[in-house]
């Protein structure tokens, strides 16, 4: 199996087990940035934060899991599958956004791991930038070996991270109780916190088919993806909130140091950085090759990994804008999720003729076919959904944008299909 191959996966290559698929998503989610979501919830009370994390984690994980069966059915990566709903040019725009934002994710994870490693070994031991560079190179090399290598690495890394995470959890339970908030947060702050949690979960949306396409079972793949995203969030976000509040800081290295677990905690962050950057590099390489198909796989992967690493070396203060980055991603990705769910999940169920929405895989690669341009209904829904998201800040932007996007897409698609039938 090639690491950044855009072609359909042959039946004989679909040997990935649901457990391996779960490990890939769990390995991507058991990471310091998941902690950081909990740590970024500000002055919200502990009770409110726990409820927001539970609701946001479960709803956000459902976005990607609803679409995972599409990868099993079509056997193509997410960027290619999305052409059915967005059109080839529309999907190219999504690919560009994915390619661009993943540089920030790669850099952010490397910066976190480098900071924690430097603190665990002593501030003067090694320049953190060397750690950041080393982690970036290691993750990139493993991705070049393909999904099988990623799965094998996760079989080692994810259980190790789980053990270290349990040690940190026990240590966190022994920490002093977080001080109560002086002033209860407003309803607007609660809604914004929910948008941060759901925006983080939605950030995995565009890998809905990338790894499930190597599996055979639609139902098992959907469950594996849901659990792989939901369980780490339900564990690490509350942990990050509690430790951050008790430690009085949102810096991951300082938070781990405050638990007193030392180098064991550093192992969690370092392994999590490598495993989550498997996904970031892989998705970016797929996006790049969809924009420039003539690019060879290995150069694409190495360039993505090293550029992301370089961004981390040049921008060590990325954590300061973490919550704002989640809001920005939500405004971009939630409407896309609404379009894809509308096209692949809702329309086949409400149309009365599911075959009308069946996808011809060959048409997804036909640059002169009916999918060659931009889908008008998708463009209208994406624009309207994004505007609704930013207009509804402080009032449940994620849920408002999802509802608006779905409504606009379904209405415009029904009208378009009627016009096509009457024209025929």
For residue range 331-354, what is the model confidence (pLDDT) as tens digits? 888 999 999 999 999 998 887 767
What's the average model confidence in pLDDT over 369-375?
87
pTM, two decimals, is 0.83
Is the distance from CB of 194 to CB of 185 less than 8 angstroms?
no
What's the average model confidence in pLDDT over 89-100?
87
The DSSP secondary structure of 278-295, one letter per residue, reads: HHHHHHHHHHHHHHSTTS
pLDDT band at residue 315 under the 50/70/90 scheme = low
pLDDT band at residue 123 under the 50/70/90 scheme = low
Among 141-155, 188-202, 226-240, name the one with the lowest average pLDDT: 141-155
Q: Is the pLDDT of residue 255 over 70?
A: yes
Widest pairwise Cα distance in the chain: 74
Is the distance from CB of 155 to CB of 359 less than 8 angstroms?
no
Among 38-47, 132-141, 173-182, 222-231, name the one with the lowest average pLDDT: 173-182
The span from the CA of 104 to the CA of 325, in Å, is 9
Which helix (DSSP H) or strand (DSSP E) does residue 411 occupy? helix 397-423
The DSSP secondary structure of 112-164, one letter per residue, reads: HHHHHHHHHH-TTTS-HHHHHHHHHHHHHHHHHT-HHHHHHHHHHHHHHHHHH
Q: Is the pLDDT of residue 124 over 80?
A: no
pLDDT band at residue 61 under the 50/70/90 scheme = very high
CATH of the domain spanning 14-319? 1.10.4160.10
* Tokens, residue 9: 């996966």
Question: Tens digits of per-residue pLDDT, 101-112?
Answer: 888 888 877 877
> Average pLDDT of the chain?
83
Segment 156-163 long-range contacts (CB within 8 Å, at least 24 positions apart): 157/27, 157/271, 157/272, 157/274, 157/275, 158/23, 158/26, 158/27, 158/30, 158/275, 160/267, 160/271, 161/27, 161/30, 161/267, 161/268, 161/271, 161/272, 161/275, 162/30
The span from the CA of 199 to the CA of 327, in Å, is 6
Which of 35, 70, 65, 41 lies closest to 172 in space, CA to CA?
35
Which is more confident, 44 or 391?
391
Q: Categorise residue 295: left if φ over 0, alpha if ψ from -120 to 50, beta otherwise.
A: beta
Among 77-81, 154-158, 173-177, 314-318, name the one with the lowest average pLDDT: 314-318
Which of 241, 329, 235 lies closest to 280 in space, CA to CA?
329
**Domain parsing of the chain, residue ranges:** 14-319
The span from the CA of 288 to the CA of 48, in Å, is 41
Among 9-13, 35-39, 107-111, 412-416, name the one with the lowest average pLDDT: 107-111
pLDDT score, position 1: 45
Which is more confident, 267 or 82?
82
């Amino acid at each position: 199996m090639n690491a950044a191959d855009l072609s359909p996966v042959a039946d004989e290559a679909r040997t990935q087990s649901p457990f391996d698929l779960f490990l890939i998503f769990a390995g991507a989610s058991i990471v310091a940035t998941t902690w950081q979501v909990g740590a970024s919830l500000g002055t919200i009370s502990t009770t409110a934060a726990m409820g927001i994390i539970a609701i946001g984690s479960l709803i956000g994980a459902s976005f990607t899991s609803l679409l995972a069966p599409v990868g099993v059915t079509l056997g193509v990566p997410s960027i290619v599958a999305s052409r059915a709903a967005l059109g080839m040019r529309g999907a190219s725009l999504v690919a560009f956004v994915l390619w661009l934002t993943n540089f920030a994710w790669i850099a952010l994870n490397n910066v976190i791991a480098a900071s924690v490693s430097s603190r665990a070994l002593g501030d003067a031991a090694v320049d953190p930038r060397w750690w950041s560079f080393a982690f970036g190179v290691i993750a990139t090399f493993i991705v070049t070996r393909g999904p099988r290598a990623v799965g094998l690495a996760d079989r080692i890394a994810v259980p190790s991270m789980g053990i270290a995470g349990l040690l940190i959890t026990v240590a966190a339970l022994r920490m002093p109780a977080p001080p109560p908030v002086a002033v209860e947060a407003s309803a607007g702050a609660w809604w914004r916190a929910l948008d941060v949690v759901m925006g983080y979960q939605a950030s995995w949306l565009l890998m809905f088919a990338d790894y499930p396409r190597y599996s055979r079972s639609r139902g098992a793949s959907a469950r594996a993806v849901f659990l792989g995203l939901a369980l780490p969030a339900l564990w690490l976000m509350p942990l990050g909130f509690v430790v951050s509040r008790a430690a009085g800081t949102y810096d991951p290295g300082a938070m781990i140091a405050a638990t007193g677990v030392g180098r064991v905690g550093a192992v969690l962050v370092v392994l999590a950085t490598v495993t989550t950057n498997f996904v970031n590099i892989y998705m970016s390489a797929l996006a790049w090759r969809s924009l420039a198909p003539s690019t060879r796989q290995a150069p694409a992967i190495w360039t993505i990994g090293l550029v992301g690493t370089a961004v981390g070396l040049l921008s060590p203060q990325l954590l300061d804008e973490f919550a704002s980055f989640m809001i920005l991603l939500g405004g971009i990705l939630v409407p896309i999720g609404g379009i894809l769910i509308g096209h692949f999940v809702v329309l086949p169920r409400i149309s009365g003729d599911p075959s009308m929405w069946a996808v011809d895989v060959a048409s997804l690669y036909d640059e002169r076919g009916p999918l060659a341009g931009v889908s008008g209904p998708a463009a209208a829904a994406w624009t309207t959904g994004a505007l609704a998201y930013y207009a509804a800040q402080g009032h449940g932007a994620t849920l408002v944008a999802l509802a608006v996007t779905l409504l606009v897409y379904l209405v415009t698609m029904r009208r378009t299909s009627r016009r096509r039938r009457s024209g025929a």
